[in-house]
Structure 1
Amino acid sequence: MTLQAKLDAFKADFEAGKPPYNVPPSVIETMHRATAELIASGAAARALKAGDKAPAFTLKNPEGQPVLSADLLANGPLVVSFYRGVWCPYCNMELQALQAALPAFEELGASLVAISPQTAVNSRKSVRQNELGFPILSDTHNDVAAAFGLRFELPDYLIDLYKGLKNDLPAFNGDPSWTLPMPGRFVIGQDGTILYAEVNPDYTRRPEPEAMLPALRRAATVAA
C-alpha cells in the first residue's frame, strides 16, 4: 500500500468518527476550514523550489549535538523532510515510509534528516515510536522552516480548537508561538541547489518517498 493510500484510509476513519477517534463533525469542519484557508493563502507557492539555493542550517539532534547541513552535504546529497510533530498521525506514517525508503537513499549516497519544531524529548519519542534510523532535528521557533518558506501561524479559531483537544503546541515545542511548518520534502545537491521540492498546505497529502529517487540519481551522476 502506498503512503498516500495509508493516509487516506486513516483520514476516512478519523473523519467518520470511528473508535477510538470519536471526533465530532464540528472539529473536522474547523480543520477543513483551516486547511482551505492555508491553501487559498498561496503560502505553498512562496516556498523554495527546485533550482533555488537551500539555506544552510545548524540544528540539534535529540542528544543536543549540533548537526550541520554543510557536514551532511560534504558526504553526498541530502533529503530533508519537514513535519509537524509526533502528535500528528499523518507525520508518523510519513516518517515510517521514509524509514522504509532509507536504504534506497543511502544506496545513492544520500543522507536523510527530518525536521520539526518539537523539543528534544518529543523528537526522541518520534525516533522510538517510529523505529527510525535517521536523525530528527529540533527547529526551535520554526526558524529553518521559515527560511525554506514553510512556517505559518495558526489562526485563532484553530488555536482554540487545539487547546480544547489538549494539543498545547507552545509546551510541546518549547516555544510560545503557535506556528507550524507546512509539510515539505526537499532533495539538496552537494552544491546546495534544491533538486526536488514538494510542499503541500494540506497536511493529509504527502508525496511518496520514491518520488525523490530520480533527483537523487541525478545528484549521484553529477557527483560521479
Structure 2
Amino acid sequence: MTHASIASEVARFNEGFEAQIGPDLAGTFTREQADLRSAGAPAAVVSVGDVLPDAKLLTAAGDAIQLSAVRAGGPAVIVFYRGGWCPYCNITLRAYQRELLPTLLEQGIKLLAVSPQHSEGSEATAQGAELGFDVLSDPANVLARALGIVTEPSADARLAHTRLGFEVSDSNADGTAAIPYPAVLIVDAAGTVRFVDVHADYTKRTEVAQIVAALRSL
C-alpha cells in the first residue's frame, strides 16, 4: 500500500488550518516559517561521526531513565519533536508509527521520540496517536542542547499561540518555551551518529524513505 508523504499530509493540513484560524494568524506563522528558513539551523548542530551523549530522560509514566538504557546497546532512530501540541509533529509521529516502525522492528532497531514536554504530555501524545514506540521527555532540553538543536517560537508566534488558547511553556517540563528543532538522528550500536537531519522550518520533516535509505549504512 502506498502512503502519502509527510509533506503532502502537511500541505493538506495547512489548507484547513489556515482557513480555520484566518489570514491574520496564518500570516504570523507564515512569516515565522520564512524567518526560520532564512536563518537556517545553527552551525553547531550534531554531526555524523559524533558520539551520542547520554542523558537522563523521563518515560511517559514519569520514571527517570538513561538514554543508554533505552537504547540497550543497540542502534536507534531518535526523533526530536516540539510537543504533542504541534500538529506537524503529530502528523510525523503517526507516519513513523504507520510506515517506519514495522521496518525497524524487523531489523531490531529502536524508535524513540523525544520532546521537552512533561511526562503527562508524552503519555497523551503516545495514547492520542496510538504509538507503539517509546515517547520520552527531555526536561529542560538537556539532550537537545547537547546536540545543538534548541530554539523557541518567535515572540509573534507566541502571541498567536495565546490567541489560540495555548502557551508552549505550559507544556514544557521546565516551564520555558524552549523547544528542539525537528530532527532525526540515527545512531549505531556503539552510539555513533550515522545520520542527521535537522529542519529549521518546523513544517518540514524527515520523510520515511530518507530514514529507510539511511539505515542501509548501519
Q: TM over 0.5: same fold?
A: yes
Residue correspondence of structure 1 range 18-167 to structure 2 within 5 A: 22-100=20-98, 101-167=100-166
Deviation at 1:69, TM superposition (A): 2.4
Contact 1:44–1:200 (CA<8 Å) still a contact in 2? no
Q: Contact between 1:142 and 1:181, CA under 8 Å: does it hold in 2?
A: yes
Give the distance between the partners of 1:154 and 1:212, measured in 2 at CA.
27
- Paired positions, count: 214
Correspondence for 2:7:
4
Residue by residue over 1:112-168, the C-alpha shift from the partner in whole angstroms, topping out at 9 and shown as x without a partner, is 110011111111111111001111111112221111111113332222222222111
Aligned residue runs from structure 1 range 176-195, under 5 A: 176-195=175-194
- Does the Cα contact within 8 Å between 2:41 and 2:198 map onto a contact in 1? no
> What is the SS of the residue equivalent to 1:43?
coil
4+ residue segments displaced more than 6 Å: none
For 1:72 and 1:121, locate their aligned partners in 2 and report how far apart those are by CA, in whole Å: 19
Residue 17 of structure 2 is matched in structure 1 by: 14
CA RMSD of aligned residues (A): 1.7
User: Amino acid of the residue matched to residue 157 of structure 2?
Assistant: L
Secondary structure of 1:218's partner? coil
Write the letter of the residue equivalent to 1:11.
N
Between the aligned partners of 2:104 and 2:117, the Cα distance in structure 1 is 25
Question: Which SS does the other structure have where 2:190 is aligned?
Answer: coil
Matches within 5 A, 1:200-211: 200-211=199-210
- Could you tell me whether the CA contact under 8 Å between 2:49 and 2:194 is conserved in 1? yes
Q: Deviations over 1:9-58 (max 9, x none)?
A: 1112222x0xxxx2121111111222222222233443212222222222
Higher deviation after alignment, 193-202 or 207-216: 207-216
135 and 73 in structure 1: CA distance in 2 versus 1, 3 angstrom threshold = closer
CA distance in structure 2 between the aligned counterparts of 1:28 and 1:112, rounded to whole angstroms: 33
109-118 or 28-37, which deviates more: 28-37
Is contact 2:41-2:199 (8 Å) kept? no
- Relative to structure 1, the CA distance from residue 217 to residue 106 in structure 2 (aligned partners, 3 Å threshold; closer, same or farther) is farther
The Cα offsets for residues 57-78 of structure 1, whole Å up to 9 and x where unpaired, read as 2201011223322224444201
Displacement of 1:216 in angstroms is: 2.4
**Which stretch has the larger CA shift, 209-218 or 182-191?**
209-218
Structure 1 spans left out of the alignment, 5+ residues: 220-224
